[in-house]
Chain A
Amino acid sequence: SQTIHQWPATLVQPVGSPLSLECTVEGTSNPNLYWYRQAAGRGLQLLFYSVGIGQISSEVPQNLSASRPQDRQFILSSKKLLLSDSGFYLCAWSWTGRTTEAFFGQGTRLTVV
Chain B
Amino acid sequence: GENVEQHPSTLSVQEGDSAVIKCTYSDSASNYFPWYKQELGKRPQLIIDIRSNVGEKKDQRIAVTLNKTAKHFSLHITETQPEDSAVYFCAATSSGNTPLVFGKGTRLSVIA
User: Is this pair of chains taken from one and the same complex?
Assistant: yes
Residues of B within 8 Å of A34, CB to CB, are 99
The tally of residues in A whose CB lies under 8 Å from a CB in B reads 25
Contact (Cβ within 8 A) A94 B44: no
Residues of A within 8 A of B95 (CB): 99
Shortest Cβ distance from residue A96 to the other chain B in the assembled complex, whole angstroms:
7
Which residues, 81 to 102 on B, are CB-close (under 8 Å) to A?
A: 89, 93-97, 99-102
What size tier do the contact residues of chain B reach?
20 to 34
**B49: which of A32, A90, A101 is its contact (CB, 8 Å)?**
A101
Closest A residue to B89 using CB positions:
A44
Shortest beta-carbon distance from B99 to chain A in Å: 5
Asked if A61 is an interface residue, CB under 8 A from chain B, the answer is: no
Q: How many angstroms from the CA of A101 to the CA of B32 in the assembled complex? A: 9
Chain A interfacial positions (CB closer than 8 Å to B) = 32, 34, 41-44, 46, 49, 51, 59, 90, 94-102, 104-107, 109
Chain B interface (Cβ < 8 Å from any Cβ of A) = 31-32, 34, 41-46, 49, 51, 89, 93-97, 99-105, 107
29 contacts between A and B (CB under 8 A): A32-B97, A43-B104, A44-B44, A44-B102, A44-B105, A46-B101, A49-B99, A51-B97, A90-B43, A94-B96, A97-B96, A97-B97, A98-B96, A99-B31, A99-B93, A99-B95, A99-B96, A100-B32, A101-B34, A101-B46, A101-B49, A102-B34, A102-B99, A104-B44, A105-B43, A106-B42, A106-B43, A107-B42, A107-B43
